[in-house]
Amino acid sequence: MTPHELLQLPETLLWAWRKVRRCYQIADSLYDQAELAAFDLNLEAELESIRQDFAAARWRGRPLRLIPQPKKPDKLGNPRLRQYFELAVRDQVAWAAVATVLGPELDRKMPAWSYGNRLYRAAWYEDEAAEQGSPQLNIGPYRHASGHLYRHFKHSWPLYRRHLSLTARRMVAAPIDLSELDHGERRALDQAEGLVYLDAQHWTREAPPGDTLYAASLDLKKFYPSVRVEAILRGFTSHVQGFATDPALTSLITQMLRFEVDDNGLNAEMRAAVEPPVSAGHYNGIPTGLFVGGFLANVAMLSLDLKVDTLLRENRGIAHFRFVDDHAVLAYDFEELCNWISDFAGLLEAFDIGAAIEPDKYVPPELKYILDPETLKDEEDTERPLERGEALISRAAKAAAINGRKPTELMTRTLAQVSMLAATDFDLLTDAGRSQRLEQLEWLLLANIPEQEIRGDTRMAFAAARIALLTPALFRPDEQLLDAHRTMQSYKAKKQLSETETEIVAGLQQTIVDLENSERADWEALLKRHFGLLFEAFTAHPDKARLFIRLIDFCRATGHEGFGRLSVWMGEHANGQYSLLQTYLGTLALQRLARHILSASADLTRSHLLHRERSAAFNFIDNLLRADLDRFLPVGLADAPLQRFERDARNALVAALVLGAFEVETPHPGLAAAMRKRASSILSSTPDPSTLALVTNHSIGTWYHWLLSSTRAHRDAPPPYWQQIADAHRENDLHDTISLRRYPALLPDYVWTAMNSDTTWLALDDAGWLLEAARANPISFQRLDTTLPVVAVVEARLAVPETGMTLFEWVETVRDLHASDPRRSEWTALEIVRQVVDHFLKPDSADLFAIPELDALDRLHPESIIISPAWRDVPDHVKINGNMTWEGWRKVTREHPVRLIETGLEDYRYRENLKEKDRQWPRRLRPIGQLLWGLLRCSFQLPTAWNIRGQERGLIEIVAGDLERLPISSFTLSLLRACLLPRSVETSFLIDFPALFGNEAGLASDDTQFDRPIKSPEALAALLGHAQAVLVKSQMTVLEYRPRQLIPVRLEDITKMDDGIDPEIEELL
C-alpha cells in the first residue's frame, strides 16, 4: 500500500484519534471541551469525513484560533505571552494520522543525537538476560494503538542529558568507569543505539591535559513560529519514499500546511501582547498548539540534521546534541567549538529552515560577543563584558571548560532523583519511607537548582503533581478512635445497659468527639502545609501554568479549602502588568474546575469508594460553591465582556454545575440545590438542561456525552435523571439525535418517526441495536417501514419461533445457578465458543473465505446462537445422587451441540469489519471474543456508549478492566486479550503493513512475546481446546458427587500464550 492509501485505513484514523484524545487528556492548555465532546460523540462520521477528504486529496483546515499563553518573564521580570493556537479537533486528528503513516520512516532517519519529540516506540528490558550480565534493552517497532504520540519523558530529556554527560567521559577515557555511574546512567549506556559518541572507536584524539573539554549550549529563536512550511514540505519530499511521485499525497500535505490565523474573540490588549506578534491571515510557521508540531519541526530539520551528522562523523573532535530547539556542543578545543557553532549557524541559513540562533541564550553568554563582535558596540546592552580580544576569548574559554572525566556541570543527579521518585510505589512504603520521599519531593519543588540539567518548571511540576497525588494516601486512621468506635458498637449491640455501662458510653461519646476533632485538626494541618508548599512554588513562578493547575488538583484530591488563597492572589493581580496572566490563569482554573466538578459529582454516587474519598469530593464542591469565582473570571457579571476562550470555559463550568447537580441529587439534595443556585447566578435564568443548551450554543447531548466520557459513570444503564436530559434533546440537532441512540429501549416517539423518514438513520448493521429497541417498544417498531432492509431483518428475527435458547436467554438462565454448577462454568463458556468456531471448520470447507455462507462470521451475535433445552433441563441419567457430574455434563454438551442461525444478525457493536470486501481474520476475532466475554460474565449487556456508532471502536479498551476482574484461568484471560484488546489488531498489521511500524527491514525487536496474535481459525480452535484441557485437569468431585472447578493460574499464561502449549498448536500461532 502507498502512504496515501495507508492514510485511509480505518485503523490509521482510529489510532490517530486515540493519540489526539490522550494529548487532550494530559493537556495543560485551554481548549473547547464541548467541541472535543461533540467530535467524540459523532466519531464514526467524523473519521469517515476525514477519510473521504484524504481519499479525494483535499483539505481545508479551520483557521487557527489565537489563545496566547504565559511564557517566562523577560530579563526585568515582566510577564510575557507567547503564541499559542487552538486548532480544530478534526485538524488535530488528521495531522496525527499523517504522523502515524509518514512518521516511522522519517523518525528512523533522524540521528541518534536528536532526542526531542521522537515518535513512540516500544522499549523494554529483557530481564532474563540479567543472569548473564546486565538486562538487555530491546527497541521494538513504532506502536500506535496505545495512543502515545511521542516517546515517554524518560526516553527523551533525561536520556539526552545523560548521553551528554557520558559522551564527555568517553571523549577523555575510552573505557568509562561503570562504578562511577548511577543506575540511570548505566541504563542510558544501554540506550545508546546508533550514538557513535559512545563508541570507543569514534574518538581518535588523545585525552587533553587535565581531561579538559569545552561545552556550550544554544537555543533557536522562536523556533516553532520561525520554521517555514516550505522547509517541512521539503523534508517530506526528500525523505519519504515515493512522496514526490505521488501527486495526491503531495497535494494533500501542501493543503494541510496552509495555515490561517483567526484572532477574533480576543481583545486588543491580549492581541498586542503576543510574542512574536501575529496578525490575522496567512501563517508561515508551525502553530504552537498543534500536537504533531514537534514532529513537523523534526521533519523540517531532518536534512540539516543529516548534514550535521555527516560532518560530525568526518570531524571527530565535536559532539553535537539536539533536543527540539535546545542544542549542546562538546569539543576538545575552544576555538574549534566556536568555529563549529559559527558553521552551524551558516548551515541553518543555507538550508532555509527559517530558524536562527538566539544570541541572548548562549551558554556561556560570552559566546554572543565572540561569534558576533558587532554586539560589543551595543551601548544599551548592560551585560557587555569589559574584556576585548584575547582577554574575552580567555574568559569565555574558562567559562566553557569542564572536566571530561567528572563533568559536574553536566551531571544528572537531580534527574536520577526524579526517576527514582517516579518509579517508587508509594503504597508499598512504610510511614517512615513515605515521609522521606515527601521530603525529597518538597526539596525538588522549592530548591534553587540550575536548569541545564532539568528545566525548573518541569522539575517543580513533577514534584507538585506527585505531592498532590500522594497526600491523600498519607491519611492514617487514629487507632484510639477506631478502638473507641468498636467499643461503642459493642455496647450498642446490647439490648439494655447498666448504670455503669451508660456512664461508660457517655464517656466514650465524648472521647470519640475529642479524638475526631484531634484527627481532623492534624489532617487539616498537614493539608494546609502541603498546599502552602505548592502555593509558594506557584507564586515564585506564576507563569508556570502547570503549577497553578496542580493547586486545583490538590484541592480536588484532598478536599482542602485552597480557593480562598487563590482568590486573593487573583484579586491582587487583576490589574497592572499581571492582568493578562491573571486572565489566562483564571480561565484555565474554570476549565479545570469544570472537569473536577464532574468527577467529584460522580464520586459522590460511587458506594465502593472510601469514606475519605467521598468526603474529599463533597468538600471540594462545597468549597468551590463558596469561592468567589468572579475573581478568577467575571462569570457572574451579565454585562462583562468575555473573550472567546473565556466563554468556552464559562460554558463548561455551567454545564458541569447543571449536570453535576443531577448526579448528586439523591445522596446530597442540599448540595445539588446549591450547585443549581450557582449555575443560575451565572446563566441569569433557570439552570435546566434546555437553558444550558440554549445559552452555551452546544446541544445537551454533547454536554451529557462530556459528562459520561469524562467520568465513565453509568456505563451499563441510564441514570435516574435520564428522562429530564432526554426531554431537553432537540429534534433537529445532529448531536442530540446521535445522543438518543445511547438507550435504544428509551427512544422518544419522534426518533421512531425519523427512522421512517430519513433513510440514513439506520444501516444494515444496526440490526442488533434495532432489535433491542423493538423488543422494548414493539408498538413503535410496528410503525416502521418494512421495506427498509434492516427493519425486515429485525421483523423476521422477531417472528422466528425457537425451540432452544439464544445466548441472551442462556446467560439469564445460568446467572442464578450456584457458582459451582458446570453450566455456569468457564469450561462451558469455552465449549460454546469452540463449537461455534468448529462450525466454520468443516472438512468440506477447504477455503474458509471462498464459501459465501461463511460470511456469517461477520454476523455472529448472541441472538444467532441457539442452546438446546437439554442444557437447561439436564437429563437425570447424567446425574449421580441428583448432582450433575463433570463427565455427565460434557456428555450433554456433545450430544446436544450448539446450533447457529445461518442468517445471523448484523451488529456493528460485535465486529471490526468496516469494509465490504475486507475479510482479514484478525478483524473477525472481536465478535468471537465478545461472545466469550459475555458468557464468562453471564451478561451480554454492552456499555451503553457502544449504542452510539463509533464508540464501540473508540472505547473497546474499557473491557480491559472487566477482563482483569473475571474469575477465570490465566490462559483463557490471555485468549480474551488476544481477541478483544486493540493491540492484538495492531499486532496483526505488523506483517501486512510494516511501513506503519517502521519495520520494513524486520530489524525491530519482537515485542509480541506477551501477546501473540491468533493467526487463523484453526489456531483459535486449538487454543480453545487447550484452554478447556487446562481446566479439566483442575476439575474435581467433592462430597456427594458435587462438581467443583479450581481456577488454574500461571504467571507465564498471564503474560504469554506460547509457553506450555502443544508444539502442534504453537505452529498455528
Top pLDDT among 352 and 184 is at 352
Q: Is 408 exposed, middle or buried (0-12, 13-18, 19+ CB in 10 A)?
A: exposed
The helices-and-strands tally (H runs, E runs) of the chain is 46, 20
The grid cell for 205 is 584524539
Asked if 797 contacts 773 with a C-beta cutoff of 8 angstroms, the reply is: no
Rg (CA), the chain: 32
What distance in Å separates the CA atoms of residue 280 and residue 274, rounded to the nearest whole number? 13
Q: Whole-model pTM? A: 0.92
When mean pLDDT is compared over 100-114, 465-479, 523-537, 891-905, the highest value belongs to: 100-114
Q: What is the 3-state secondary structure (H, E, C) of 364-386?
A: CCCHHHHHCHHHHHCCCCCCCCC
Top pLDDT among 103 and 477 is at 103
**What pLDDT score was predicted for residue 595?**
97
List alpha helices for 33-83, DSSP H. 33-41, 43-55
* Average pLDDT over every residue of 770-781: 96
What distance in Å separates the CA atoms of residue 150 and residue 297, rounded to the nearest whole number? 13
**What pLDDT score was predicted for residue 878?**
82
Question: pLDDT tens across 188-217, in order?
Answer: 888 878 899 998 889 988 888 889 999 999
Q: Is a pLDDT exceeding 80 seen at residue 948?
A: yes
| Confidence band of 601 (pLDDT split at 50, 70, 90) | very high
**What pLDDT score was predicted for residue 774?**
96
Lowest mean pLDDT among 254-268, 592-606, 843-857, 1028-1042: 843-857
Q: Is a pLDDT exceeding 50 seen at residue 449?
A: yes
DSSP state of 357: B
**What pLDDT score was predicted for residue 689?**
94
Element (H, E) at 327: strand 326-331
Strands 80-82 and 274-275: parallel
Asked if 248 contacts 433 with a C-beta cutoff of 8 angstroms, the reply is: no
What distance in Å separates the CA atoms of residue 113 and residue 197, rounded to the nearest whole number? 9
| Confidence band of 855 (pLDDT split at 50, 70, 90) | low
State what percent of residues in the chain have pLDDT above 70: 93
| Confidence band of 880 (pLDDT split at 50, 70, 90) | confident
The grid cell for 686 is 433557570
Angle at the Cα of 1001 (from 998 to 1007), degrees rounded to 5? 60
| Confidence band of 455 (pLDDT split at 50, 70, 90) | confident
Top pLDDT among 8 and 424 is at 8
Strands 259-262 and 64-66: parallel
For the beta carbon of residue 271, count every other beta carbon within 10 angstroms.
17
What distance in Å separates the CA atoms of residue 1016 and residue 1035, rounded to the nearest whole number? 29
Name the maximum alpha-carbon separation found in the chain.
107
Closest to 266 (Cα-Cα) out of 589, 587, 654:
587
SS3 content of the chain, % helix, strand, coil (to 5): 60, 10, 35
Element (H, E) at 975: helix 970-980
Question: pLDDT tens across 1006-1037, in order?
Answer: 887 767 788 888 889 999 999 999 999 888 87
* Average pLDDT over every residue of 656-672: 97
Q: Is a pLDDT exceeding 80 seen at residue 124?
A: no
DSSP string spanning 85-136?
EEPPHHHHHHHHHHHHHHHHHHHHHS-TTB-TTPBPEEEEEEGGGGGTSSPE
Closest to 745 (Cα-Cα) out of 787, 781, 796:
781
* Average pLDDT over every residue of 290-303: 98
List C-alpha distances in Å: 765 to 26, 435, 688, 949, 959: 35, 57, 36, 10, 22
Report helix, strand or coil for 543: coil
Q: Is a pLDDT exceeding 90 seen at residue 581?
A: yes
* Average pLDDT over every residue of 340-344: 97
**What pLDDT score was predicted for residue 1054?**
53
Residues facing 80 on adjacent strands? 71
Top pLDDT among 156 and 727 is at 727
The grid cell for 908 is 456493528
| Confidence band of 511 (pLDDT split at 50, 70, 90) | confident
What distance in Å separates the CA atoms of residue 24 and residue 291, rounded to the nearest whole number? 9
Q: What is the 3-state secondary structure (H, E, C) of 153-200?
A: HHHCHHHHHHHHHHHHHHHHCCCCCHHHCCHHHHHHHHCCCCCHHHCC
The grid cell for 132 is 548473564
Residue with cell 523534508: 235
Q: Is 160 exposed, middle or buried (0-12, 13-18, 19+ CB in 10 A)?
A: buried
DSSP string spanning 681-749?
HHHTS---HHHHHHHHTS-HHHHHHHHHHHH--SSSS--TTHHHHHHT--TT-HHHHHHHTT-GGG--H
Lowest mean pLDDT among 25-29, 592-596, 1047-1051: 1047-1051
* Average pLDDT over every residue of 879-902: 88
Asked if 624 contacts 552 with a C-beta cutoff of 8 angstroms, the reply is: no
Strands 401-403 and 212-219: antiparallel
What distance in Å separates the CA atoms of residue 995 and residue 1006, rounded to the nearest whole number? 15
What distance in Å separates the CA atoms of residue 231 and residue 216, rounded to the nearest whole number? 27
Q: What is the 3-state secondary structure (H, E, C) of 132-155?
A: CCCCEEEEEEECCCCCCCECCHHH
What distance in Å separates the CA atoms of residue 121 and residue 126, rounded to the nearest whole number? 16
Mean pLDDT, rounded, of the chain: 88
* Average pLDDT over every residue of 230-244: 97
List C-alpha distances in Å: 994 to 100, 1002, 1020: 12, 8, 24
CA–chain centroid gap for 771, Å, is: 34
The grid cell for 281 is 491571515
Top pLDDT among 740 and 1008 is at 740
Question: pLDDT tens across 395-439, in order?
Answer: 999 999 999 988 877 776 677 777 777 767 777 777 777 778 888
Return all residues near 688 (Cβ < 8 A) that are at least 6 apart. 658, 724, 728
Lowest mean pLDDT among 217-226, 665-674, 738-747, 959-968: 959-968
DSSP state of 32: -
* Average pLDDT over every residue of 939-968: 87
| Confidence band of 914 (pLDDT split at 50, 70, 90) | low
| Confidence band of 453 (pLDDT split at 50, 70, 90) | low
| Confidence band of 850 (pLDDT split at 50, 70, 90) | very low
What distance in Å separates the CA atoms of residue 100 and residue 16, rounded to the nearest whole number? 7
**What pLDDT score was predicted for residue 1053?**
55
